Structure 1
């Protein structure tokens, strides 16, 4: 594989992207800093296929990332391969308003061929290639220039290894006929709605202090205001105020600006500075949350009852057994809350649809309906359908 020197000009980038645009796939990774800014600061982009790889410096003077962004978001003929790519996709969305498509995430794909639910990149490389990654450069300051050779070598390694692993992983998926299982998961990863920063929905990330429409209305207004303040100052939202402080203000709003000095989590300066004035204005103007935006009442485990809880535990045991049997991550099949809903009598569930029903849901439903039992054979748990079990002999019955 050819490794290019660090790309710092638009012409070099355009030439690279023109070649990669004729590939079947391109492996992608990014290095960024987000500790001190609202939006992640993109510091390096690594791309490659089975023939060549390069690191691109987005902070280089005069470089235009348009050829790269067009390759990632407009070229539908090239599959974009990431590992745990959520944050990488977010950065591309922030730059373009679009997400890479079509997309493939090796961390997600590993759930279909192993019991690993969130395998790290280093472990992925170790298991597939037998190589150990030098993690020394992982937590360096990627925004500082010039980058060292060690940093660049480490960064490019992320896509050179990925370009070698992807074809092998894809081959295994095809052999096991599980590739179709991942379609919905990959579409979800590429859905722009996951990355859109809607101010009207910012309050959803905060634990509500109450179900009062008045309190939730203030919470919504405060959350949107905090996002705007953080964007304007280009600092993390937590630097404006923490979630806990915001929730306290929504629940117990101060009557006058001087009272902000008494709020835990705010400095004394808020009692007479401009940001304090803007905060008080938001609280004053906030109305109750409209009825159609009120959150659903939380589902509690109590309605399951003792027997239902036992059934849910059996379903979770069944899930562990099935995941082990077919060597797949349990989380890809279903989640605990879904199993509890199944035990409580809910039948409109993803686990009872499509391939999940064929692989696990049918047996889960049979267990709930008393058609499936557990047995021990050679020291291992297995499932037995009641209708398929052989009746006991007279001697066994007599015993």
Structure 2
């Protein structure tokens, strides 16, 4: 028996928004496709209040401005699981990120339930319910959607509204609710969802194989690809693959005919964009060395500092054990090494730092030491 409302008419949506406008919190999820586009194409919005479950069809309702305005109500908390992609969609369509928000995946990690825990695993862990996964490959843009597809979709908020109060209670009981403030604030920063073509080279597969001057070429070409992908709303790989970009950055000569030797470039592409690419390559190669980009290299610690890093990782593991969270969630070896090479004693300014910053400072200043007694480890002045 269907226990949710399928909303595909503006008057239905307006009626629901009016009814739910005083909700203290709502649970949200989306279904989308992006195989053939740069930006994800929103196909379904699932929403739950304490009293109602609804599926909103954005392919039938063309004007969602009222919904996005309703979503910005500051007194209403928006609950997501793994919120980033949902927030990216809402920001792309409305220019705003819904806030305030709560991400159950981050909350679960803070409570020691698991890093990057999937929704189905979390439902099973907290509610003992195994979710149906048969519709995971659904084409959500096709209409009409079947009852099975809609039931699968609504489950994403049906149980999310049950999980949120349980997680909130555990966070309050353990004194960890405020640990989430900074991670959630970062999720609402619009810069998280604004593509920057000029930095897109950093995410190209194979970038670590290039030298600094070649990276300058890659930066120009990747920025061109990203900009064109955004303009045409096409997947960037449809324009040029990462492998082709890297091969172009390695080109020793600067002639149009050299492109034909690169596997994956068609004659049509070369005829259309070849001169433009040559211009970008020559422009990059003419830059002075100080203008070349460089990948952040992990500085190798000397033997003494490496031992210090080992010691601080003991602190990380001890604190993770004491608070029943994974050490990987608290800090990685690479983060510790970066902190030491930069001459810092503070890991971060969020909840992770609150667990280790003071201990790090005391140990690094010689005011505290690690002691083992009766096969138990402690940190003492």
Q: With structure 1 as the length reference, what TM-score do the two structures score? A: 0.85
Aligned to 1:103: 101
Aligned to 2:325: 328
Structure-to-structure mapping, 1:186-335, within 5 angstroms: 186-206=184-204, 207=207, 209-212=210-213, 215-252=214-251, 254-271=253-270, 273-286=271-284, 295=293, 298-302=296-300, 304-335=301-332
Q: Which runs of 5+ in 2 are unaligned?
A: none
Q: Using a 3 Å threshold, how does the CA distance of structure 1 residues 172 and 264 change in structure 2: closer, same or farther?
A: same
| C-alpha distance in structure 2 between counterparts of 1:14 and 1:290, whole Å | 58
Aligned to 2:13: 13
Q: Is structure 2 residue 381 aligned with structure 1 residue 383? A: no
1:360 to 356, 362, 378: 356
Displacement of 1:134: 0.5
RMSD after superposition: 2.6
| C-alpha distance in structure 2 between counterparts of 1:253 and 1:53, whole Å | 60
| C-alpha distance in structure 1 between counterparts of 2:112 and 2:149, whole Å | 31
Aligned to 1:393: none
Q: Which runs of 5+ in 1 are unaligned?
A: 388-399
Q: CA offsets per residue over residues 100-148 of structure 1, 9 Å max, x none?
A: 1111101111122115121110111111111110011112111111111
| C-alpha distance in structure 2 between counterparts of 1:354 and 1:45, whole Å | 32
Whether contact under 8 Å (1:9, 1:63) holds in the other structure is no
Q: Using a 3 Å threshold, how does the CA distance of structure 1 residues 5 and 171 change in structure 2: closer, same or farther?
A: same
Return 251-260 or 278-287, whichever deviates more.
Answer: 278-287
Displacement of 1:369: 4.6
Aligned to 2:67: 68
Q: CA offsets per residue over residues 333-378 of structure 1, 9 Å max, x none?
A: 3332231234557225344x5654542222233444553224263x
Q: Is structure 2 residue 59 aligned with structure 1 residue 59? A: yes
Q: Is structure 2 residue 26 aligned with structure 1 residue 26? A: yes
Displacement of 1:327: 1.4
Q: With structure 2 as the length reference, what TM-score do the two structures score? A: 0.89
| C-alpha distance in structure 2 between counterparts of 1:226 and 1:341, whole Å | 32
Q: Secondary structure at the match of 1:94?
A: helix
1:346 to 340, 343, 347: 343
Q: Using a 3 Å threshold, how does the CA distance of structure 1 residues 285 and 373 change in structure 2: closer, same or farther?
A: closer
Return 92-101 or 274-283, whichever deviates more.
Answer: 274-283
Q: Secondary structure at the match of 1:3?
A: coil
| C-alpha distance in structure 1 between counterparts of 2:63 and 2:283, whole Å | 43
Q: Using a 3 Å threshold, how does the CA distance of structure 1 residues 196 and 287 change in structure 2: closer, same or farther?
A: farther
Q: Secondary structure at the match of 2:42?
A: strand
Displacement of 1:38: 1.3
Whether contact under 8 Å (2:345, 2:360) holds in the other structure is no
Whether contact under 8 Å (2:20, 2:49) holds in the other structure is yes
Aligned to 1:175: 173
| C-alpha distance in structure 2 between counterparts of 1:289 and 1:26, whole Å | 52
Whether contact under 8 Å (1:76, 1:101) holds in the other structure is yes
| C-alpha distance in structure 1 between counterparts of 2:4 and 2:288, whole Å | 56
Displacement of 1:6: 1.7
| C-alpha distance in structure 1 between counterparts of 2:253 and 2:263, whole Å | 12
Whether contact under 8 Å (1:137, 1:154) holds in the other structure is yes
| C-alpha distance in structure 2 between counterparts of 1:186 and 1:6, whole Å | 30
Q: Secondary structure at the match of 1:264?
A: coil
Aligned to 1:144: 142
Whether contact under 8 Å (1:217, 1:288) holds in the other structure is no
| C-alpha distance in structure 2 between counterparts of 1:345 and 1:232, whole Å | 40
Whether contact under 8 Å (1:115, 1:324) holds in the other structure is no
